[in-house]
Structure 1
């Protein structure tokens, strides 16, 4: 089976439930984690859950940030579903900037490797791919990847794409403990999974969706401070 955590905070205007319900043929259970939204996000999901057994709502009492919403979602999935070693558990951005149709392609791509514990989507500009990303976000992303490469020794082209799948054996290592940062937590997952096989899948389609809650160019100093705290905890030399 495939179970996807979808963290949501005030996503009423960007959450298109019909796109998720239309993906029923992909065999996915969706766990929408409402992170203390003040709009009608939770109500939208609850209405869909009444009609579709593969839609689930997890409500958090207050806004904790994406990192904790994803982590709590991972815990709930293990409680509510039958997970075996062949299952995949992941998280996916609510705006569907990465289409759900990428999932079968991710799983096919993983077959090129002898062993895969986690698959991370990566927004690589290349011939044949439909990747539409603003120039600002692209260059900030390249700068971020360079920074974490130097400070955290991470060799990821694009750790921040919000579409990832994990084997059940990785969940406790990756999500058992709270994250240092509220948003820049993906690199922390990579550091926690240093003994697992993590691959990057170059997406065939990705479209920038307006309305993101993360404004990296406005919060660059907070992001840098979080990276330093992560380095202090995980990098010993």
Structure 2
């Protein structure tokens, strides 16, 4: 079983739900967490859920941000479903910048390692990969990764790619506690999982989809402040 949490906030124009439906043959149940959207996002999901048993709508009482939408969805689905040793639960960006076709490749890649607890997609520029990202986002991303590496001792090329899978057994460790960071909660997850085996899968394809609500260039000081607060809590 694979269960994917898909956080959504005003995604009416970017949520192409037919693309999710087309990938049900991968054995995925989709749980769309509507984070208090003011457009027709919830309506689109609800209509799809009435036609397809593998599409589910999870409603937040109000807009709480991506970090809390992901955390709420992960915990609710973890408690709701039954799991076996082959199960995965994860979260995925609604814009499908990382195509769902990457999931079988992620699972195959994890077989190269023993006892993998979590698989994180990573946007690595390399031969054979089709990663299309704006130069600004790329350089900001490299700067962010360097900063996180220096201040938080996180050895990850790309913590921020919105495509991750977890073994259900570690969900309480990663998601039970509210996140400090609004923008960089992924880093916080990695710090919580320091005693678990997390591997990075270099994606074969990734697209920079216009319309992202996270404008790192505008929020750079807030991001830096969050990193300092995370350091205070997790780094002794």
For normalisation by structure 1, the TM-score amounts to 0.99
1:15-48 CA-partner distances (Å, limit 9, x unpaired): 0010001111000000000000000000000000
Alignment of 1:78-157 (within 5 A): 78-157=78-157
1:130-167 CA-partner distances (Å, limit 9, x unpaired): 10000000000000000000000000000000000000
- Pick which of 178-187 and 208-217 moved more: 178-187
Aligned to 2:194: 194
Aligned-residue offset at 1:115: 1.7
Aligned-residue offset at 1:76: 1.5
Q: Within 1, Cα distance between the matches of 2:83 and 2:8?
A: 23
Aligned to 1:21: 21
Q: Within 2, Cα distance between the matches of 1:181 and 1:198?
A: 20
**Structure 2: gaps spanning 5 or more residues:** none
Runs of 4+ in 1 over 6 A off after TM superposition: none
Aligned to 1:171: 171
1:192-220 CA-partner distances (Å, limit 9, x unpaired): 00000000000000000000000000000
Please give the secondary structure, in 1, of the residue aligned with 2:22.
helix
Q: Within 2, Cα distance between the matches of 1:49 and 1:80?
A: 17
Q: Within 2, Cα distance between the matches of 1:171 and 1:53?
A: 24
| Contact map agreement 1:35 1:65 (CA 8 A) in 2 | yes
Please give the secondary structure, in 2, of the residue aligned with 1:165.
strand
Please give the secondary structure, in 2, of the residue aligned with 1:151.
helix
Q: Within 2, Cα distance between the matches of 1:14 and 1:220?
A: 25
Please give the secondary structure, in 1, of the residue aligned with 2:232.
helix
| Contact map agreement 1:88 1:165 (CA 8 A) in 2 | yes
The alignment of Structure 1 onto Structure 2 pairs a total of residues equal to: 236
| RMSD, aligned α-carbons | 0.6
Q: Within 2, Cα distance between the matches of 1:183 and 1:74?
A: 17
Aligned to 2:70: 70
Q: Within 2, Cα distance between the matches of 1:78 and 1:12?
A: 27
| Contact map agreement 2:134 2:208 (CA 8 A) in 1 | yes
- Pick which of 77-86 and 223-232 moved more: 77-86
Aligned-residue offset at 1:80: 2.6
